[in-house]
Chain A
Amino acid sequence: MTSYTDVFKNGKRQILVADDEYINREMLENVLIDEYDVLKAEDGEMAYEMIRQNRNTLSLILLDLIMPKLTGLELLARLSEDPDLKSIPVIVLTSDQDSEVASLKKGAFDFIPKPYPQPDVIKARISRSIELAEDRQIISSTERDELTGLFTIEYFYRYGNQFDKFYPLADMDALCFDINHFHVLNERFGIAKGDEILKCIARRLKTAFPDAGSFVCRKAADTFLVYCPHRDDYSKVVEQVSAVIEEIEAAVKVRVGVYSFCDKKLDIHSRFDRAKIAADKIRNNYSVFISHFDEALIDAELYAEQLVEEFPKALAEKQFQVYFQPKYDIRGDKPVLSSAEALVRWSHPTLGMISPGKFIPLFEEDGLIAQLDEFVWRRSAEIIADWKKRLGISVPVSVNLSRAEMYDPGLIDTMKKITGDNGITPKDLYLEITESAYVSDSDSIVERVKTLREHGFFIEMDDFGSGYSSLNMISELPIDALKLDMMFIRSAFDKHNDTRMISIVIDIADYLGVPVIAEGVETEEQYLALKKLGCTIIQGYYFSKPVPAGEFEKFLLEKKGE
């Protein structure tokens, strides 16, 4: 632990002088300026604001009792109610003996009379108060985690804060260590062994960070935090901590999130939130164990949060639009428009067009996808009905169903209501269900799909080839079309030009007696190759990008003309 003789060696501690009299402020500043970083406030509200802003660095407050806007006693009361602020010691400046007692009762640490005593007396009282306050903070909390003997989180944060007051100029890193799949270790070896592992990691962390300026704590079950002077490389540490634990002969994989050169203006727990964000980024990555925080991560989180937050408004304000991408039957000499896929677009008033790749995964995570999908289904049905009425022609439009929706017991009623409300039939609306939906809980999904088909809906299996369905299962699947995963097309036509996998899928489709749809087709070369391989239907930029409903009408009118 750092001793108090070191206190002023590196940088100065910060003191706030709050007094409405200019002369009193100047006089105190003049006394303290050589040893302290002095902030000044000329009324109670200003003092309160400055205390809040500097709560992580402020060592002491010198407070005049009679001030405009907010009196010293009122300010004392506010501070004592705020858990973040109440530990900052306050010395009251007063010329009134009556007030001395009153302010001590309200939580002041000490008082300095006016007229001021000798400068040496002022300085001695201040440094003694700071020492006492810091000791008190440390003593009052439960210092140690019982299991590992490391600091508890509360003590760790306080101690980190205190260190910052000693060494405001030190470059510090916040680290968050997580054990990958600790619960698996617990299950495999038992809780007692799990505890052994934690203790072992704690010992290794202490060895890795031996100096007085580094602090280690256990935050939750398997999360360890370290606050330490900056290092460029933590790979050795991760190696040491992850080494085989001999008594159980198992290697523990530890990942660490690093927030380097902490911004000291952030609360200490926010600094560790950043380290945690970095650590979480590599949670499912089995080859990378060190992840550095950068501002882009915060931006990405904030962006995601904004999108989720604005979803209801966007839906109400019709910021979502349904676009249509045509699909062509390529079996004959000339491609013939066969159907379309409905795709959602978000036209945001300030962010512009937002890619579905950005918001759909978010909404899937949040469950908002159900509302968005239902909007797309309904809107598509309305548009199909409109085409039929105005143009006298339409094509089936396929819409996407997410895995969660497949479990919704009301799904079939919803679908029937949407078609019924718009005077169209189930044959007008194709349903694209991703292959991965079948895999997770195949029995109940297969049952649901069967029921949808019995009601006349046409089922396309989307992203086929990405979801590892077993060949055994495929033969039993109730589907009407197989849609090739876009990656197949991409990899088949990259430099290797290897289309064998596509041939296999086409054979499977033949065996099942269903057509194969290829999406993501961009060039004539791809189109011709797929046609030759026996692919039935093609979708992609080669024919058209997804377009708004109005623009899609030209494809319909073309077909009608033929």
Chain B
Amino acid sequence: MLTIDALKQFGADTNDGLTRCMNNEAFYLKLVGKVVDDKSFEALENAVAEKNLDAAFEAAHSLKGVLGNLSLTPIYEPVYEILELLRARKDIDYAPYLKTISEKRAELKELIG
């Protein structure tokens, strides 16, 4: 079962995230439980694979907002990085960034169980 302590261990700034949730722990944990299934993760991967950088930017942008609101720093940071590269529409290999994101996402999934 997901706990605040486990999220802290994972590296999330839980105090910050909880404040946005009016310090309602159950509510915070419920939202974190939902974010791993956010369709923007797939949207980002697909868009990068299709070299549609506009769509990739939008997906990353959405993710950044949600992850930031939940203060899930370990996933937020790589998403932020890829977002800035996509903002400049840089023609580079995005695979390593996607890999980090998906690893961190898998880690969080593990925590949720």
Q: Give A contacts to B, CB under 8 Å.
A: 20-24, 26-27, 30-31, 64, 66, 93, 95-96, 114-116, 118-119
Contact = CB atoms under 8 A, between A and B. Distances in A.
24 contacts: A20-B62, A21-B62, A22-B34, A23-B35, A23-B38, A23-B66, A23-B70, A24-B69, A26-B27, A27-B21, A27-B31, A27-B69, A31-B20, A66-B61, A66-B62, A95-B61, A96-B61, A114-B64, A114-B68, A114-B69, A115-B68, A115-B71, A116-B20, A118-B19
Most buried by A among B19, B22, B40, B62: B62
Nearest to A22: B34
Most buried by A among B21, B61, B65: B65
B58 interface: yes
Contacts, number: 56
Contacts of B21: 27, 30
Interface residues of B, number: 22
B100 to A, nearest CB: 20
Nearest to A94: B65
B24 interface: yes
Contacts of A64: 65
A116 B62 contact: no
A114 to B, nearest CB: 4
Nearest to B62: A21
Contacts of B61: 66, 95-96
Given A114-B65, A115-B71, A23 B58 contact: no
A93 B64 CA distance: 13
Contacts of B65: 21, 24, 64, 93, 95, 114-115
A479 to B, nearest CB: 85
A93 B20 CA distance: 15
Given A23-B70, A27-B69, A95 B64 contact: yes
A262 B31 CA distance: 41
A66 B57 CA distance: 11
Contacts of A26: 27, 31
Contacts of B24: 30
A66 B31 CA distance: 21
B25 to A, nearest CB: 12
A23 B31 contact: yes
Nearest to B32: A23
Contacts of B64: 95, 114
Contacts of B66: 21, 23-24
A64 B62 CA distance: 10
Contacts of A30: 21-22, 24, 27
Contacts of A23: 31, 34-35, 38, 66, 69-70
A20 B61 CA distance: 12
A119 B68 contact: no
Interface in B45-67: 58, 61-62, 64-66
Nearest to B31: A23
Nearest to B19: A118
Contacts of B19: 118-119
B47 to A, nearest CB: 13
A93 B19 CA distance: 18
A22 B66 CA distance: 9
Contacts of A116: 20, 69
Contact of A119 (B20, B34, B58, B62): B20
3 smallest beta-carbon distances between A and B, as pairs? A115-B68, A114-B65, A23-B66
A40 to B, nearest CB: 15
